[in-house]
Structure 1
Amino acid sequence: MHIKDWKIVLVGCLIILLSPLFGQKSDDNATARAEIKGTPRIIHYTRKDFSGDPQIWAMCQDNDGIMYFGNNDGTLIFDGARWQTVSLPNNSSVRSLLHTTDGHVYAGGFNEFGRIERDEYGHYSYHSLIDQLSPEDRNLENIWAIHEVQNHIVFRSLSRLVAISNNKAFTIPSTGFYHSAVINDKLYLVNGEGVKTLDLQTLSFESLVAPSQFNQETIVAMVEGTAENQVILFTRSGASYTIDHGSKNIHFFKSYFTGNSNNQILSAIKSSAGHYYLGTLSSQIMVLDEHGDPVPLTESFMELQDNTVLNLSESSEGNIWALLNNGIDCINISSPISVLFENASVFDAMIRGGKIYAATNQGVFVSQRIVQNPHFASMEFRKIPGLEGQAWSLLSLHGQILCSHNDGLFVIDDNNILKIEGLAGVWKVIPIRGKDNHYFVCTYTGIHMLRFENGKFELLYRVDGFNESSRDIIQSDEENTFWVCHGYKGVFKLQFDRNFERVVGLEHFREKGLPSPFSINVFRWNDHIVFTTNQGVYTFNETSNQFDPMTELNERFGTDVNVRKLLQYEDKTWFVQDDEAGFFQRDSKKLEKGLFLELKGTFNRSMESILPINTSNVLIGTTTGLYAYDLSFQQHADTKKTLITEVNYQDNGERTKRSLKGSSEQIPHSASDLRFEFSAPKLKDQTQVQYSHMLEGIDEDWSDWSVDPFKNYSQLFPGKYTFKVKARSMIGETTSESSYHFTIAPIWYMTRWAIGAYVLMILLIMIGSRKLVKKKIVVEKEKTREEEKKKRTVLELELDQMRLEREKERIERDKKILEEDVIFKSKELANYTMLLVKKRELLTDLREDLKELKEVAKNERSRNMLRNLIRKIGVNLNDEEHIHVFEANFERVHDDFFQELKTYFPDLTSKELRLCALVKMNLTNKEIAPILNISLRGVETARYRLRKRLSLDHEENMVEFLEKLSP
């Protein structure tokens, strides 16, 4: 589906108060009101969309909102997402279509008429009714119109009328009726004899007017007039006449073409809103007001894809459908959205003097004066010369407009443009509270002072002490204090001197309670200065000198997205949150964003333009243009239904459809690629319908919105499921959800029959098992006796085994005690030897002391006694008996260890064996030395030699090695 670029649109009464900007008073205090209208948006459907002949003759719409179009291939059926084609049996063109009050759709072609029906699987088919006529009456040629009137369905051809009532058909001879219409349940017919009515109860004709009364012109349309019993006739040449059905008087009404025009009227309808739409041969569509007067339109009003409009129809949603010689166009007359300007990116907008001004990236544009008109009016914009380039903002002051521009500051006074010298790169101009006629000029690199005096603006000086960008600035409640937010550097609090000539106090906040210094904006809301960030809204706490969360706003917006715009107007607060625009009422926490969905992602970041006009209308500027919104547009989800149009799946290599009417359809377990197709034809705006769905039993929540009108599931487990789907349009329309209940059948071995077979088999097995058990009990009793005998024998053997085990445990326990005793005796022997060694050391020391005493003794007797003592001590020292006792007992205690050593190391000497035993006992070198009667150095040397004899590495522990050799 190809969607044409939006044109200027707002249908309905978009009333705006002519004031400069946000309620600022204009110089003349004007309070005049005007209506902004625009051309509707148009959706083009081409041959590529419906894959058929593009010449479209007729249209109707059923109760579900599904559209039917007659073309040269048959009937095109459009459910809002997909196109289907139903051909007539003779493949003729479908020239007429009708949806009746009982829900049937009738189609008429060449020598053919019948019904188009939809089966339970969503498939459309044609059922001919031509057989209800006798063979001689079947030569009808083209059925040009179908009507429902007086409980009859009437098919009109040039040769005859066919009426069906209570499933019975009859024909009425025709004298060339080339046009017909039903108005107030009366059937009007036109032929060469004039305009007549037909009473189907009596089958009688009544003449209303003769051809001479409308100048023998060809009637192409008859519609209801503005007065009771009034009918308006439109002729092919462009004239119109009114007929009073009661008095049968006819009057010339109006002519819509000039005398030498080659244009023609081909069709006409009266809309539910009371407007008249004329389809022409070469000038597309003409629009008439309720009085039949043409509404002045520009040449680009409609921009249909073809100039020839064969027929017109209005859908139940209020859209006008143009059936063209080359395609189909849907004209969204009732859209609440109007694109007023779309040639540039809009950063600011204002209304002054009955005109709309737009500051854009290409300069400043101004509209023509808004024309008071209850229908459609052009809103053409032109660029103001001299203001080309990036314009940031507009401000109305003292009857003039100040334009803040990339090239400086400009004054717009009517058509005159004056640049205020000395400035470049200006963001905005703001008034200073408490200093009349003085204004701050906020630039890329600081702030300047501007004054209005003697009817003109004068730049006074640059404010000293602050050189940062001041795009986002607001005056605080503190005297001479302003807040400035920088997109990357955080927040500045500026304190100015009395005359605002310099900054005398500056506080720079990069955090102080704020989540970061980035993406901070400042606004005034409910008399509070609030700061919006990426993680919520904050206010400044003067007491703690830091920023605190703003609970009241955070409860509405949350803290996970950035609110980049806050603007209060009367009872609404407008905002831009996470690239979505919306508003909330003063006493409500609900965010109204649905109407503005298609603007998502199109805002100028931190330069969003929102201009409330009144409580019902607002202008919004984006990167794609300037939009007007009618907030009074009402959504009625309960009257709009999402349709599930088809359910199919893949099974055994084929696509199989399921019924859409069953309460709970069963789908085989072998099915794969289960596909649900859906649409929402009742939505007024079909430009980009979005769907959300959920499969109960699988999904925990609704899916994200998507434009795909289908959902596939590759494989589902057996069980019960409910598929739900809902839709919305990009103007916030929503539909009620639709659901489809189905069951995935279990695998054959989990079916009811299989389960019943399982139960029967189990019962048979239980009966058979019972018999077998009884038989086996007898056998088992005998076996039990034999087993008891064997068990007693085994028990006795086990008892013997247990006794042997206990005996073995006792032996092991005794062995362990003996080993511990050996270790104890070894320790005791070593201690005994140590005592002997200490005794020898004591005797040696005593002998040396006696020798010294003998030298100093003064008489011989004393010396002799000392000699005897020295000699006795020497005899005891020379006694080696204790060594032999130690060696004998030591070898007896460690006999097993010595045997193990000799097995692996047969070359070891007796001294080396003793040294191994002493090392194994974990004695130190100092303790070993006296036992072996060698020096400490000798022990170290002996141990070194022993390591080499044992082939031990330097890192290997000798004690651990000898422990491993213990038997």
Structure 2
Amino acid sequence: MRFKFMLLLLVLLLSNTFYNLNAQTDSLFIKGIPRVIHYTKKDFQGSTQFWTVCQDEEGVLYFGNNDGALVFDGQIWHKVSLPNNSSIRSLKVSSRGIVYAGGFNELGVIKKDSFGKYFYESLLNLIPIEDRNFENIWQIHEAQGHMVFRSFKMLIAIANNTAKTLPANRSYTFSISFDNKLFVQDEEGIKSLDLRSLSFTHLFNQDQFNGEELITLIPGVALDEVLAITKQGSFYRINLNNRSTTLWQKLLTEKSNDLVTCAIRSSSGSIYIGTLRSKVISLDANGYRISTGATFSGLQDNTVHNLFESSEGNIWAVLNNGIDCIDVKSPVSLLFEDASIYDVLPYKNKIYIATNQGVFVSTPVSGKTVLTKERFVNLNSLRGQAWSLQKFEDQLLCSHDKGIFVISDKGVSKLPGVQGIWKIIPIKGETNQYLACSYHGLFLLSYDSKAGFKVVHKIEGFDESCRDILQSEAPGVFWVCHGYKGVFKIKIDAALKRIVGVEHFKDQNGLPSPFNINVTRWNDEIVFTTNAGIYTYDAAKNKFLLHHFLTSLFGKELNVRRLFQYSDKTWFAHDNEVGYFKTNEEKPELQKDLFLQLKGSFNPSMECIVPLNQKNILVGTTTGLYAFDLSYNASARNAKTMITSASFKEDQSENTSMLDIATTHVTKLPHKSNNIIFHFSTPAFQNKLNVQYSYWLEGADNKWSDWSEASFREYNLLSAGSYIFHVKSRSLLGEKGTEAIYRFEILPAWYQSSWAIAFYIIIGGATIFFTILLVKRRIRREKEKTLREEREKRRVLELEIERMKLAGEKEKILKDKEQLEEDVIYKSKELVNYTTLLVKKRELLIEMQDQLKELKDAVKNESSRQSVRELLKKINGNLQNEEHIKVFEANFERVHHDFFTKLKANFPDLTQKELQLCAFVRMNLTNKEIASILNLSVRGIETARYRLRKRLGMSHEEDMSAFLEKLHSTPDGFGEFAELSV
């Protein structure tokens, strides 16, 4: 009973341990520092000292600085100057979307005309002349239907094109609009102002804030309170109902020489404080946990003049020297930089990173943690190239260029006996047995609860690199993929000592090539990713077959280098991009947009993708480690793609004509318009860097262009016609901008206009009419002439036909004659071939005669001898028959009649036998063949040839066959030899 209880307790403890581990990972949310985007004078080409910022409904940002206003549409900076060239100290966008600006003795609105050009329109004419010396406008508010401009000297309220001024007793030092109420601070304290009656209501005395100057009021922690923040860094809780104030906390020490310059509460509830010397200080929603760490240390200047939260959730800091955008809402943050990341592993409340510089470990993490590079420490004994981090037997193992290391709370220890290890894999079906995959083969690794891990021995018989390895279902069978050598299928013996079988696959058995093949397991299938699709292995056919689902999903153009499943998602590295798709969807879509900004920065075939849970994923690159928040919904925001300007040049003119981009009608352009340029932007994107555009000119282009970061498109030499320009956008966070269009028409030249075409039709019609008349008259004349000529031609033709008939008959006779001659020659050649076959038969008969003579002597029986004699007699009679010689001579003369004619003409004394011999020599027959035909001995033929040489007057060295061939080919006989013979 006790044993059962202890067993149950142990199971519960283990289950609780596993639950805690899973719960820790599931609840863990790692975030790095937000990216800080710097904008410098090189970007905006203006004064570097900024004072204020606002944003209109389209997402366009307006910055006030010493040069006036700088308007940023996400791509281009536009400068707007005031009439007196003063600086702009205040900006405000009203509820109607109007941008108000205030400078030194100047106030008005910033507008954009229909051509996309920003300009300033002064409202100074609404103010009485005697009140126009109000100096700098420091703040602008909207309250009670008025726009209120505050300077130290006075308040100016404008509504319905009417201005009211309210001078200060001494100085208005602060003002703010809150819940449609306007609060103003002067030397007496804080008051509320009724703009309809221009009457003040005193709320708080100055001593309630210890004489400190207010910077802003923000919503408090409680529902019925407001937080007042002073320049000296004090936080006061204000109850507007009972008008009480309580000092809550001091942000700056009494002796601090720093000052608070601005403060905002963001939409997430966090409080951001701008300072004179300490950049930006952040507080949580409750106002606690003040952080001045690395989060905002990257600002390019210490003095923050103002803070602003844009509609996308970015925090913009306008500085004494430049502008910074703090991308706090980005789903991407940087955890670790300046190293190439190969693996990441959360282990015992810490994050371990394997890099090209060694292994780094973080300080303890839990819940929602912000990690920065400063929170990581490099383990000294693991410096150098670390490849992977794995947890086995509740121990952390590091596969390193130097070997295998065990990492524990006590330190780092190295396992002796190995070098250059990629990773470690467990062996299925074996307890506490592992394979260490090295640069040159496999090592057996075993574990003992007392002794720990130990390298047992090298598994002999395979020395290839084993970085990419996967065990199959068959016992002891592993797949090993080599980046350059193809795929190996190896089998390890039961004793785990040596390789007993190796199959090597290159570009045979169905694989497209031996390069860039990786093996992985997906949906319980072993799949092989290649440069031309994804394959599975059919053992029965010993062939690699295309995996149709995965290949149709990814295509064959790009390599899928990494593929693994986590929860309901399949993660992948697709060439230079990473992403995921829902595993069980019937028609899944590749989700890559969120990760596009890391494109091209991964370690090929060693991409580091580590999901912590359903929402949080870590991605390692060659530049560092990034955290991604998958709960980010890029499509939640409606970003508008805008055509910010359009222009054209006419013919060769250097002057640029701007086009109306606000019109919805078709813009008509002159015929000689060329160099048409469109500029576009998407200012409402959260990620304003690396915005990409795709465009299509309907009427000229066949399809949308590839995505590009170019924010303009130029068209040259367009022909006359109607066009529609389309442009859409996306950011590298997956945000997508709406499509913008612009319609225009290039008018035809004057000679292509409607009236010109009508004139052409009239002239053409008249020309055709008179032409028809002339042609008809000409036709009548020509017809009469043709009839006369036709009669004459008919007579000539009849004579010609008669002549042609005669010529045809003659030609037919000649052709028949030639055909007959060809038939005679062809048949003669057939007879020659037949005679040659008879010669072969005579040789056979002679051979049979010789054999029968031998047989006659060998046969003892008289009757058999008599039979042999009769056979010999028949064969001899056949041999003595010279009928084939006559047939041969007759046919030879018919085939080579010119030869005998020339031979007899040049050598008339030749006998018939000598003529026969010349014919045989002419046919290149050997002495043996001639002897067989003539039934003579070879010696007799040689003697006859010798005599024939003398009769022909040939020297001993001359070839008789060549001599006779020359005789046959000489047109006029063989005169020179005829003279010799004479």
- TM bin, normalised by shorter chain, reads 0.7 to 0.9
Task: State whether residues 297 and 378 of structure 1, in contact with CA within 8 Å, keep that contact through their aligned partners in structure 2.
Answer: no
1:849-928 maps to which residues of 2 (within 5 A)? 924=898, 926=900
Q: What amino acid is aligned across from residue 622 of structure 2 in structure 1?
A: T
Question: Does 1:748 find its partner at 2:768?
Answer: no
Mapping of residues 674-713 of structure 1, within 5 Å: 674-713=676-715
Q: Deviations over 1:55-88 (max 9, x none)?
A: 1111111111111101111110111111110100
Mapped to 1, the partners of 2:747 and 2:289 lie a distance apart of: 64
Amino acid at match of 1:684: Q
Residue identity in the other structure for 1:31: A
Partner of 2:91: 97
Deviation string 1:583-627 (CA, Å, 9 cap, x unpaired) is 111223211111111221111112111111111111111111111
1:174 corresponds to 2:176: no
Partner of 2:214: 219
> d(CA) in 1 for partners of 2:344 and 2:679?
43
Q: Is contact 1:677–1:710 with CA below 8 Å preserved after alignment? A: yes
**For each residue in 1:489-529, what CA deviation from the matched residue of structure 2 results, as whole angstroms up to 9, or x when unmatched?**
22222222223222223322233222222211111111111
Alignment of 1:337 onto 2:332? yes
User: Partner amino acid for 2:337?
Assistant: E
Pair 683,408 (structure 1): closer, same or farther in 2 beyond 3 Å: same
Greater shift, 100-109 or 226-235, is seen at 226-235
- Matching residue of 1:610: 609
Q: Counterpart in 2 of 1:672?
A: 674
Q: Distance in 1 between the 2:561 and 2:904 partners?
A: 95
Q: Report the equivalent of 1:623.
A: 622
Q: 1:758 to 1:178 in 2, by over 3 A?
A: farther
Distance 2:393 2:336 in 1: 27
Picking from 397, 416, 419, the partner of 1:421 is 416
Contact 1:686 1:729 in 2 (8 A): yes
Deviation at 1:405, TM superposition (A): 0.6
**Match in the other structure for 1:963:** none
CA distance in 2, matches of 1:827, 1:563: 74
Residue 599 of structure 2 corresponds to residue 600 of structure 1: yes
1:450 aligns with 2:445: yes
Q: Deviations over 1:226-247 (max 9, x none)?
A: 3334221111111111211122
Looking at structure 2, the residues matched to 739 and 550 of structure 1 have their Cα atoms a distance apart, in angstroms, of 42
How far residue 556 of structure 1 moved from its aligned partner, in angstroms, is 1.4
Secondary structure class of the residue paired with 1:274: coil
Aligned partners of 2:674 and 2:614: how far apart in 1? 53
The yes-or-no answer on 1:460 pairing with 2:452 is: no
In 1, Cα distance between the equivalents of 2:622 and 2:466?
A: 23
Distance in 2 of aligned mates of 1:719 and 1:438: 75
Query: Superposition pairs for residues 203-282 of structure 1, below 5 Å?
Result: 203-282=198-277
Paired with 2:782 and 2:465, the residues of 1 have a C-alpha distance of 103
What letter matches 1:592 in structure 2?
A: Q
Q: Percent identity?
A: 44
1:128 partner amino acid: S
Between the aligned partners of 1:591 and 1:928, the Cα distance in structure 2 is 93
Which residue is 1:554 aligned to?
A: 551
**What do the CA deviations read for 1:813-867 (whole angstroms, capped 9, x no partner)?**
6688799999999999xxxxxxxxxxxxxxxxxxxxxxxxxxxxxxxxxxxxxxx
Contact 2:693 2:707 (8 Å CA) reproduced: yes
Does the 8 A contact of 2:32 with 2:627 survive in 1? no
Is 1:132 aligned with 2:93?
no
How far apart in 1 are the matches of 2:816 and 2:902?
Answer: 18
Residue in 1 aligned with 2:104? Answer: 110
Q: Which moved more, 1:105-114 or 1:663-672?
A: 663-672
Is 1:476 paired with 2:476? no
Mapped to 1, the partners of 2:760 and 2:726 lie a distance apart of 37
Counterpart selection for 2:520 from 514, 518, 523 = 523
* Pick aligned residue for 2:741 from 714, 739, 742: 739
- Alpha-carbon spacing, 1:780–1:824, altered in 2? closer, same or farther (3 Å): closer
In 2, the alpha carbon distance for the partners of 1:155 and 1:325 equals 23
Kindly tell me: are residues 378 and 805 of structure 1, through their superposed partners in 2, closer, same or farther at Cα, counting changes over 3 Å? closer
Give deviations 1:616-675, integer Å, cap 9, x for gaps. 111111111111111111012771111110001112321011100222111112111111
The question of 1:31 aligning with 2:23 is answered yes
Give the C-alpha shift of residue 214 in structure 1. Answer: 0.4
Q: In the alignment, what sits opposite 1:580? A: 577
Matched residue, 1:502: 498
After TM superposition, give the deviation of residue 457 of structure 1 in Å. Answer: 1.6
1:387 aligns with one of 382, 393, 401:
382
User: Counterpart in 2 of 1:68?
Assistant: 62
Distance in 1 (CA, whole Å) between partners of 2:796 and 2:560 is 89
Report the secondary structure of 2:152's partner residue. Answer: coil
> Offset of 1:372 from its aligned partner?
4.9
Letter in 2 for 1:574: W
- Is the Cα contact below 8 Å between 2:694 and 2:728 reproduced in 1? yes
**1:316 counterpart = 2:290:** no
Structure 1 46/706 Cα, relative in aligned 2: closer, same or farther at 3 Å? Answer: same
* C-alpha contact (below 8 Å) 2:31/2:334 kept by paired residues: no
**Match of residue 304 from structure 1:** 299
What is the alpha-carbon distance in structure 2 between the residues aligned to residue 197 and residue 492 of structure 1? 82
Structure 1 spans left out of the alignment, 5+ residues: 1-22, 829-921, 941-953, 960-967
Residue 596 of structure 2 aligns to a residue whose secondary structure is: helix
Q: Secondary structure at the match of 1:213?
A: helix
Alignment CA distance shift 1:462-1:320 (3 Å): same
The size of the alignment, in residue pairs, is: 826
Taking structure 1 as reference, are residues 678 and 807 closer, same or farther at Cα in structure 2, changes over 3 Å only? closer
2 CA distance for matches of 1:821 and 1:496? 90
What residue is the counterpart of 1:147 in the other structure? Answer: 141
Higher mean C-alpha displacement, 711-720 vs 453-462: 453-462
Question: What CA distance in whole angstroms lies between the structure 1 residues aligned with 2:971 and 2:188?
Answer: 134
For 1:514, the aligned partner's letter is L
Given the two structures, how large is their TM-score scaled by the length of structure 2? 0.79
Structure 2 residue runs without a partner (length 5+)? 1-14, 821-895, 919-967, 974-982
CA distance in 2, matches of 1:483, 1:817: 85
CA spacing shift, 1:736–1:260, aligned 2, 3 Å: same
1:410 lines up with 2:405 in the alignment: yes
Please report how far the alpha carbon of residue 296 of structure 1 lies from its aligned counterpart in structure 2 after TM superposition: 2.7
Aligned 8 A contact 1:40 1:302 in 2 = no
Could you tell me how far apart the structure 2 residues matched to 1:112 and 1:494 are? 83
Matches within 5 A, 1:2-17: none
Give, in angstroms, the shift of residue 95 of structure 1.
0.7
The answer as to whether partners of 2:521 and 2:527 remain within 8 angstroms in 1 is yes
Distance in 2, Cα, partners of 1:289 & 1:466: 59
For 1:638 and 1:364, locate their aligned partners in 2 and report how far apart those are by CA, in whole Å.
40
CA distance in 1, matches of 2:108, 2:723: 39
Q: Show the counterpart of 2:660.
A: 659
Matched to 2:728, the amino acid is K
| 1:892 matched residue in structure 2 | none
Partner of 2:350: 355
| RMSD of aligned Cα (Å) | 3.5
CA contact under 8 A between 1:122 and 1:646: conserved in structure 2?
yes
**For residues 541 and 928 of structure 1, do their structure 2 counterparts lie closer, same or farther at Cα, with a shift above 3 Å needed?**
closer
For 1:213 and 1:565, the matched residues in 2 are separated by: 65
Structure 2: which amino acid aligns with 1:615? Q
Q: Are positions 1:436 and 2:431 aligned together?
A: yes
AA aligned to 1:618 is: I
Instruction: Give deviations 1:874-930, integer Å, cap 9, x for gaps.
Output: xxxxxxxxxxxxxxxxxxxxxxxxxxxxxxxxxxxxxxxxxxxxxxxx983646899
Q: Do the aligned residues in 1 keep the contact of 2:143 with 2:177 (CA within 8 Å)?
A: yes
Deviation at 1:758, TM superposition (A): 3.7
| d(CA) in 2 for partners of 1:692, 1:401 | 48
3-state SS of paired residue (1:650)? strand
Q: 1:24 to 1:956 in 2, by over 3 A?
A: farther
The whole-number CA distance in structure 2 between the counterparts of 1:684 and 1:639 is 11
Deviation at 1:764, TM superposition (A): 7.2
Query: CA separation in 2, counterparts of 1:189 and 1:284?
Result: 27
